[in-house]
Amino acid sequence: MQASRAAKWMPRDFVESTQTGGVFTLFAYCTMLVVFFCEIGSFLSSNYTTTMSLDRKEGARMKINFDVDMYDIECRNLKVAVFAQQSQERATSWAQDFWLRSIDNKGQTFGMAIKPDQNSDEEIEKKDVHKEIMTKLKKELGSAEIDADWSGSHDGFKHKSFDEVLAAHDFTFINFFAGWCSHCKVYAPAWKVTADKIHGNGADVPAMKFKDADGTDRGVRLIKMNCVDFKQLCTEKGIDAYPMLRLYKADGTFSLYEGKRDEAEILKWMEKTIKMKSYGWDKNHEAFERGCNARGSIIVDRIPGHLEMTAGGGDQQLDSSLTNVSHLVKHLSFAEPDETASIGLMGLPGLSGSFFRVPDKYITHKNPLDGQSFVTESFHQTWIHDIKVVSTLIWAYNVEYQFLPQKRLSKVPDGAVPQVQFHYDFEPFSIWIKKDNKKWYEFLTSLLALLGGTFVTMRLASKMSLSVLLSLRHLIPKPGSSRTGGMNIGGVY
């Protein structure tokens, strides 16, 4: 294609009609088209700049949002509060809206969520439902029936329900045996001595009691289970070796004794195990729970402080040496009290779609602790999270809070109950994120400059190509001339 066909409107004197010029003209048009669309895209898209200045946040309050799983602290023993920095002075909570819900050993929530401030500590009087169940079963079945050994299916007792036997006692220590087992026969006399000592002998020799974590005395009943006569039950319980000793709780959970079958060793192990497994007696308060999920928010003054997940203060006296504050932070963030801190146009939640959102790279530390688990390694340890909070202003309308956490595992004194603490402090500066849109006159100027520059560049490239071709033509002789080795470069110019 000749260049003159692409620019017929230009005077003939200004056009050099060459094949090379036509190629450069097409390339120039394609380049200018690409440049045009790129410039349009740049004009329609948003660019952001960040600046740093002294903190200009004027609000006096902020909201702390949290969703934390305490693996081994029950809801009735968990307190959530905010304290002033470096003190135990409780910070003013202008509003709090959080709930506690029990979690099992798999981290799944169950039961009803409770609001801690529904009742004061003085009003919470919990009823020992398990004691009522024990009294009821003993009355219906008789003490002889529920206290009897399961030594045979024809020993004069009904042996209808193994679960009722467990429910009728605080703890039940069971010796699963088989008549053909030689080890069981050897251990039988020692078992009887241990059983007689724990059961006592009437008023003169009372039964032994074992204290649980809250200081309550718990009884233990020792029962023998004949796995030949009650084979199906033993199979259901997974008994595959004899003798097997298990300490059952009233809810059916158990601990396996694997030590020496010695009276002193058994009593020592039993005392320790009962102290660790005393939770879950009251069904009205989420019996047999393993942990607690605390989820919600608290509005406090915008001053340095610390959020505490406090173990203790419930209806049990916690053993500090056994308190485990391992936890999972599902969510932790700081926000404005009015909940308009979502990243949207002019602070309007309804316009917070993807078109108006700030790219994630500018808000990278809103909730850096989310999804992290923190497990204690030994007794008398507590997790402390030191947090530096930076207010982030978006287009001078919205306020977000980014923070940088540092964790440390701290040793607590003997006798002190470990806690989980989130210490937060505010940096004296703010980060401003501003939106830089290209003005329309800047867009037109840059567009015309780019298009004109592209045309001129291609024009110069075409002229240079023609000059090179002319030079080569004069240097290389035509065929048939006195010079050899030449070649003919055709073309119109």
CB atoms within 10 A of CB 212: 20
SS3 category, 175:
strand
- The SS3 of residue 285 is helix
Query: What is the set of domains in the chain, with CATH numbers?
Result: 3-46+440-475 (no CATH), 52-126+295-436 (no CATH), 129-281 (3.40.30.10)
Amino acid at 101: R
CB atoms within 10 A of CB 61: 15
Mean local confidence (pLDDT), 233-259: 88
Is it the case that residue 143 has pLDDT exceeding 50? Answer: yes
Contact 64, 306 (CB under 8 A): no
- Cβ atoms of 126 and 315 within 8 Å: the answer is yes
Q: What's residue 141's pLDDT?
A: 77
Report the distance separating Cα 38 and Cα 366, nearest Å.
33
The verdict on pTM exceeding 0.75 is no
pLDDT surpassing 80 at residue 284 = no
Nearest-angstrom CA–CA distance, 460 and 24: 10
Each residue's pLDDT tens digit, 302-347 = 889 989 888 765 544 555 566 788 899 999 999 888 754 333 333 3
Asked, as a colleague might, if the bond just before 479 is cis with ω within 30 of 0, I would say no
**Please, what is the angle between helix 19-44 and helix 440-475, to 10°?**
160
In terms of Cα–Cα distance, which of 421, 387, 428 is closest to 404?
387
Short-list 275, 314, 274, CA closest to 292: 314
What is the three-class DSSP state of 19? helix
Going by C-beta distance under 8 Å and a sequence separation of 6 or more, which residues neighbour residue 115? 98, 99, 100
Is the pLDDT at 6 greater than 80, yes or no? no
- Phi and psi, residue 331, nearest 5°: -160, 140
Residue partners of 212: CB distance under 8 A and separation at least 6:
218, 274, 275, 277, 278
| pLDDT tens track for 181-210 | 999 999 999 999 999 999 988 767 888 999
**CA angle centred on 408, ends 403 and 414, rounded to 5°:** 140
Report residue 56's pLDDT band, with 50, 70 and 90 as the boundaries: low
- Selection from 67, 148, 76 nearest residue 114 by Cα: 76
Identify residue 58 by its one-letter amino acid code.
Answer: E
Query: What is the C-alpha separation between 375 and 438, in angstroms, rounded?
Result: 51
> Which pLDDT does position 428 carry in this prediction?
85
- CB under 8 Å to 66, separation ≥6 — which residues? 80, 98, 294, 295, 296, 297, 298, 307, 329, 331, 332
Share of the chain above pLDDT 70, in %: 72
pLDDT for residue 363: 75
C-beta separation of 442 from 404 below 8 A = no
Least confident of 38-42, 119-123, 137-141, 404-408: 119-123
User: From the CB of residue 364, how many other CB atoms can be counted at a distance below 10 Å?
Assistant: 9
Is residue 305 within 8 A of residue 87, CB to CB? The reply is no
Cα–Cα dist 16/469, whole Å: 14
Residue 354: is its pLDDT beyond 60? Answer: no
| Distance of alpha carbon 173 from alpha carbon 256, whole angstroms | 10
**Cα gap 266→294, rounded to integer Å:** 38
pLDDT, position 287: 38
Residues 6+ away with beta carbon under 8 Å from 83: 89, 90, 91, 305, 306, 308
- CA gap 346, 156 in Å, rounded: 82
The DSSP bridge pattern shows strands 381-394 and 419-436 to be: parallel
Query: Rounded to whole angstroms, how far apart are CA atoms 340 and 11?
Result: 64
368/49: higher pLDDT: 368
Query: pLDDT: is 336 or 131 the higher one?
Result: 336
Structure tokens at 232: 């199906």
Query: CB 463: neighbour CB atoms within 10 A?
Result: 14
